Structure formats: C-alpha cells, structure tokens
Amino acid sequence: MLRAIFFATACCAMLGSCDVRKKDKQAQLPAVKQEVKDPTTVQIIDSVYDFGNTTEGEVVQYSYRFKNTGNKPLVVSNVSASCGCTVPEKPEKPIMPGEVGFILVKFNSDKRPGEAHKTITVSSNANPPFPELLLKGTVVGKDKD
C-alpha cells in the first residue's frame, strides 16, 4: 500500500514538472510578431450568405465579394473553412487597388441535414484583417423510401 502511494506521488510530481518545463521553454521563446508585408485595406462587400433551405445532397455555391480599398495589391494567401464539407477557393492573382475580388465557397450538404453554420477564414495582407465569412442555412433531409 505504501509503495502504491509513493508511486502515485512520484508520477504526479513527474507530470507536474513536465508541465513546468514546457511553460519555462515557452517563456524563453521570443514573441513572434506577425507583420503584414505591404499592407493594404479591404472593404468586405459580402460577409454573410444565408442560402435559406436546400435539399440534402445539393451543393450550395456562393462567391463572397471584397474590394481592395488600399493603394497596394491585395494578396489572399490562404482560405480555410470550419468543416471539410465546405471548400473555399482563393483568387490566384493579386487584387489591384480599386478592384473587386471573389472567394468562391462550395458547401456539400450530403449527409448534413439540419442547421448549417460554416465559417471561412481568410489570410491576406489586408490590415485590418478580413473578418470571418459566414455561410448559413438549413439542409432539409431527403425522404428515405
């Protein structure tokens, strides 16, 4: 019994010390400042798309619009979605000052009946950064025969 208590205490001490060392190492790391190279500004024209109701299995597609309101090219470096059923596509070329760009999003509603609430994250050289884009609606289940 005494051996079990000693063993349990030793294990807890080792686990706790790992956590402390991890925190110490993190404290020693220099803070990474994320600087946007050649920043520009952006006006979001569409940030929310409500597709209403769609039938399960249909693919909902929408192009979110934005405008480069700065004086440097706007480069969208990455777009990602909150779910694998939602696939965003970024513009391949920079959006020049004054131009409107698009982020195409396709949502596959197959096997996803119910409320849909998907977010799209955009990384770019816009400062302030893009807000999250939202795609929402209701997927109406298919009638099973």
Looking at residue 144, what is its pLDDT? 58
Phi, psi (rounded to 5 degrees) for 86: -120, 120
State pLDDT tens for residues 101-134: 999 999 999 999 999 999 999 999 999 999 999 9
Cα–Cα distance for residue pair 130/42, rounded to 1 Å? 8
Of 93 and 24, the one with more pLDDT: 93
Identify the pLDDT of residue 44.
Answer: 97
Round the average pLDDT of the chain to a whole number and report it. 81
Question: What is the rounded average pLDDT of the residues 55-81?
Answer: 97
Amino acid at site 80: S
Distance CA 92, CA 114 (A): 33
Strands 100-108 and 76-81: unpaired
Per residue in 35-66, pLDDT (tens digit) is 457 799 999 999 999 999 999 999 999 999 99
Between CA 53 and CA 39 the distance in angstroms is: 39
Local confidence band at 21 (pLDDT 50, 70, 90 cut-offs): very low
Output the pLDDT for position 140: 96
pLDDT value at position 9?
41
pLDDT at 26: 36
Structural domains for the chain: 44-139 (2.60.40.10)
Question: Residue 136's pLDDT is what?
Answer: 98
